[in-house]
A and B are shown apart, each in its own frame.
Chain A
Amino acid sequence: MTETSLYILQQLINGLTIGSTYALIAIGYTMVYGIIGMINFAHGEVYMIGTYTAFITIVGLLTMGVGSLPIILLLALITAIIISSTYGYAIERVAYRPLRGGPRLIPLITAIGMSIFLQNYIRLAQGSRDLAMPALISGGIEFGDPAVFEVSISWMQLIIWGITLISMTSLAMFISRSRLGRACRACAQDRGMTNLLGIDTNRIIALTFVIGAALAAVAGVLLGLYYGIINPYIGFMAGLKAFTAAVLGGIGSIPGAMLGGLILGVTEALTAAFFPSEYKDVVAFSLLVLILLFRPTGLLGKPEVEKV
Chain B
Amino acid sequence: MLRLDNVSTFYGKIQALHNVSLEVNQGEILTLIGANGAGKTTLMMTICGDPRAQSGHIEFDGQPIQQMNTSDIMRMGMAVVPEGRRIFSGMTVEENLFMGSFFRSKDEAEEQLEHVLELFPRLKERYSQRGGTMSGGEQQMLAIGRALMSKPRLLLLDEPSLGLAPIIIQQIFEIIEKLREEGVTIFLVEQNAHQALKIADRGYVLENGHIVMSGTGNALLNDDSVRKAYLGG
Which residues in A have some Cβ–Cβ distance to B below 8 Å? 179, 182-183, 185-186, 189-190, 192-201, 308
Known: A196-B48, A200-B72. 20 other contacts (CB 8 A): A182-B91, A182-B95, A185-B88, A185-B91, A186-B88, A189-B90, A189-B91, A190-B86, A193-B88, A195-B71, A195-B74, A196-B86, A197-B74, A197-B99, A197-B150, A198-B72, A198-B75, A198-B150, A200-B69, A200-B71
Cβ contacts under 8 Å, B103 to chain A: 198-199
Interchain residue pairs with CB less than 8 A apart (16): A179-B102, A182-B91, A182-B95, A183-B99, A189-B91, A190-B88, A193-B82, A195-B50, A195-B71, A196-B82, A197-B79, A197-B99, A198-B102, A198-B150, A199-B103, A200-B71
Cβ contacts under 8 Å, A183 to chain B: 99, 102
Cβ contacts under 8 Å, A197 to chain B: 74, 79, 99-100, 102, 146, 150
A-facing residues in B86-101 (Cβ within 8 Å): 86, 88-91, 95, 98-100
Are the C-beta atoms of A186 and B74 separated by less than 8 Å?
Answer: no
Known contacts A190-B86, A308-B84, A199 near B102 by CB under 8 Å: yes
Distance in angstroms between the alpha carbons of A200 and B50 in the assembled complex:
13
Q: Which residue on B lies nearest to A176, using beta carbons?
A: B95
Are the C-beta atoms of A196 and B99 separated by less than 8 Å?
Answer: no
Q: Which residue on A lies nearest to B80, using beta carbons?
A: A196
Are the C-beta atoms of A195 and B70 separated by less than 8 Å?
Answer: yes
User: In the complex, which range does the number of interface residues on chain B fall in?
Assistant: 20 to 34
A-facing residues in B54-92 (Cβ within 8 Å): 69-72, 74-75, 79-80, 82, 84, 86, 88-91
Cβ contacts under 8 Å, B88 to chain A: 185-186, 189-190, 193
Are the C-beta atoms of B102 and A185 separated by less than 8 Å?
Answer: no
Distance in angstroms between the alpha carbons of A242 and B68 in the assembled complex:
39
Are the C-beta atoms of A186 and B71 separated by less than 8 Å?
Answer: no
Cβ contacts under 8 Å, B89 to chain A: 189
| Shortest beta-carbon distance from A204 to chain B in Å | 10
Known contacts A186-B88, A308-B84, A196 near B74 by CB under 8 Å: yes
| Shortest beta-carbon distance from B81 to chain A in Å | 10
Q: Which residue on A lies nearest to B70, using beta carbons?
A: A195
Q: State the 4 A-B residue pairs at the shortest beta-carbon distance, nearest first.
A: A198-B74, A193-B86, A198-B75, A200-B71
Interface string of B26-42 (1 = CB under 8 A from A): 00000000000000000
Cβ contacts under 8 Å, A185 to chain B: 88, 90-91
Q: Which residue on A lies nearest to B45, using beta carbons?
A: A196
Q: Which residue on A lies nearest to B156, using beta carbons?
A: A196
| Shortest beta-carbon distance from B227 to chain A in Å | 31
| Shortest beta-carbon distance from B70 to chain A in Å | 5
| Shortest beta-carbon distance from A43 to chain B in Å | 25
Cβ contacts under 8 Å, B71 to chain A: 195, 198-201
Distance in angstroms between the alpha carbons of A183 and B95 in the assembled complex:
10
Cβ contacts under 8 Å, A193 to chain B: 82, 86, 88
Distance in angstroms between the alpha carbons of A197 and B96 in the assembled complex:
11
Distance in angstroms between the alpha carbons of A199 and B150 in the assembled complex:
11
Distance in angstroms between the alpha carbons of A195 and B103 in the assembled complex:
12
| Shortest beta-carbon distance from A107 to chain B in Å | 20
Cβ contacts under 8 Å, B69 to chain A: 200
| Shortest beta-carbon distance from B61 to chain A in Å | 16
Q: Which residue on A lies nearest to B104, using beta carbons?
A: A198
Q: Which residue on A lies nearest to B84, using beta carbons?
A: A308
Cβ contacts under 8 Å, B74 to chain A: 195-198
Distance in angstroms between the alpha carbons of A200 and B100 in the assembled complex:
13
Distance in angstroms between the alpha carbons of A195 and B90 in the assembled complex:
18
Are the C-beta atoms of A194 and B80 separated by less than 8 Å?
Answer: no
| Shortest beta-carbon distance from A197 to chain B in Å | 6
Cβ contacts under 8 Å, B75 to chain A: 198
Cβ contacts under 8 Å, A195 to chain B: 50, 70-71, 74
Q: Which residue on A lies nearest to B147, using beta carbons?
A: A197
| Shortest beta-carbon distance from B185 to chain A in Å | 17
| Shortest beta-carbon distance from A9 to chain B in Å | 39
Query: Which of A186, A192, A196, A200 is the one whose CB lies under 8 Å from B91?
Result: A186
Are the C-beta atoms of A194 and B50 separated by less than 8 Å?
Answer: no
Cβ contacts under 8 Å, B102 to chain A: 179, 183, 197-199
Cβ contacts under 8 Å, B84 to chain A: 308
Q: Which residue on A lies nearest to B146, using beta carbons?
A: A197
